[in-house]
Amino acid sequence: MELYRKTAAELSGLLRKKEVTACEILDDTLARIDAVEPRIDAFLSVTAEAARAKAREVDEKLAKGEAVGALAGIPVGIKDNICTKGLRTTCASKMLENFIPPYNATVVDKLNAADAVIPGKLNLDEFAMGGSCENSYFKPTKNPWDTERVPGGSSGGSAASVAACEVPLSLGSDTGGSVRCPAGLCGVVGLKPTYGAVSRFGLVAFASSLDQIGPFGRTVEDVALLFGAICGADLPHDATSKDYHFPGMDADLKGLRVGIPREYFGSGVSEENKAAVLKAVDMLRDAGAVPVEISLPSTDYALSAYYIISSAEASSNLARYDGVKYGYPGDRKGTLNDLYLSARSEGFGPEVKRRIMLGTYVLSSGYYDAYYKRAKMLQRMIAREFTDAFEKCDVIATPTTPSTAFKLGEKTSDPLEMYASDICTVTVNIAGLPGVSVPCGFDQKGLPIGMQLIGPKFSEAKLLGVAKHYETAVGGFAVKEL
């Protein structure tokens, strides 16, 4: 039995019927990782012994008739900017190459409480800064649908590992599209929850007001299962977290108003991506939904606001990496300033340094009002536009990305072109809203296209319910054969 091809929900059913064991699921998972990892490069570390210990614990509980958690025996990959006690957490950076956290992120504690099995840590763009997973200090991850192409970023390893059936579930983080974009490019389901729905404690910060941990899966049901296990308040660890409990998917489509924002279907978005999303909306209409044309006029300025705000926060958050307290030690010769210069110039990669410099610039005296303050004003304007839009519709449908996966190295020499890959997703983070990407077809090259569904704050039940309706209507989502 090829257990690696099973969904998390299917594996859970088999386990509870005692048709398989957690150890058998893990052994099949590790064998699959060994088989395809040389072509995909999704994992930065495989933690087989720790995973086997957890799998044995689950099997012992089941043998004794004890209660087990919602994710019992299910392998879940973890993006390597989420802290795992006793397991290396590198953020795909030379700066943290040997960092072993003394504590778990809250989401990891929740996974352990749910009896999930963690087989390893997944690759990303360094410190989650990038849109292609090419900015990793260690290696680029490849897209399972075409290994000469990128999987998207920054959570490229998390998306690729699910698409390649290495794990049925994974966690990523999303600051401006870093869950949804790779989900769209890799043909899997990815959820960016409402800001505050999932604790950020133990997530290595990029932009604290925008970051959110989110789940990946091959089906909507699997994503809902993982989201339900990790959401909720986490005081006093994360003061921005909310006392939110996922009630399950809302399945009613009749009369549901689906907003079609004209700004997301204009220039810059490929005709194939537009057509695939509109075809998906037509299928929702056939099931009882009502398409409504809307406008979000500030969208054209959102990318600029996002990179100003996120870079400013990155400059502040990454100031702690100075080669003294922790991180890459740098050259200990010379003055203290020489040490700082050595540690940060050698420890950080080009993209991280680019964003730190931009953030420091927009926060500096004489430029704060001209750039950062105006970006924050635009952030409030974008949030108001979404609030107004949701008076006319219940969910909003857009392309997840402006195009399908591009080739490795194709955009590395042009940062601005790379940044434009986030044009459809950054507004969701700016407004603190939930968004989910679901596969909605393929382009002429056979590469996946994603549809993004956006809802009001804490509307994950409705969003995932709509996504589930679409998944059922198309007969499920394709799995790439490797």
Is 33 strand, coil or helix?
helix
Question: Which contiguous run of DSSP H or E holds residue 126?
Answer: none
Any catalytic annotation for residue 154? yes
**Helix-helix angle 271-286:460-473, to 10 degrees:** 90
The two structure tokens encoding residue 117: 């099995």
Residues 6+ apart with CB under 8 A from 125: 92, 131, 132, 133, 134, 135, 136, 153, 154, 156, 178, 351
d(CA 318, CA 348) in angstroms, rounded, equals: 10
Beta-sheet pairing, 76-79 with 169-174 = parallel
Within a 10 A sphere around the Cβ of 23, how many other Cβ atoms?
Answer: 17
The two structure tokens encoding residue 338: 């020489």
Q: Which of 208, 167, 161 is nearest to 183 (CA)?
A: 161
Q: Are 171 and 79 a contacting pair, CB within 8 Å?
A: yes
Q: Are 122 and 170 a contacting pair, CB within 8 Å?
A: yes
Within a 10 A sphere around the Cβ of 149, how many other Cβ atoms?
Answer: 21
Question: Which contiguous run of DSSP H or E holds residue 72?
Answer: none
CA angle 437, 440, 441 (to 5 degrees): 140
In 362-397, which positions are buried (b, 16+ CB within 10 angstroms) versus exposed (e)? bbeeeeeeebbebbbebbebbbebbeebbeebbbbb
- Of 178, 241, 310, 342, the active-site residue reads 178
The two structure tokens encoding residue 377: 């004003």
Any catalytic annotation for residue 342? no
- Of 45, 154, 199, 421, the active-site residue reads 154
Q: Are 186 and 152 a contacting pair, CB within 8 Å?
A: yes
- Of 6, 54, 79, 110, the active-site residue reads 79
Any catalytic annotation for residue 17? no
Q: Write out the catalytic residue numbers.
A: 79, 154, 178
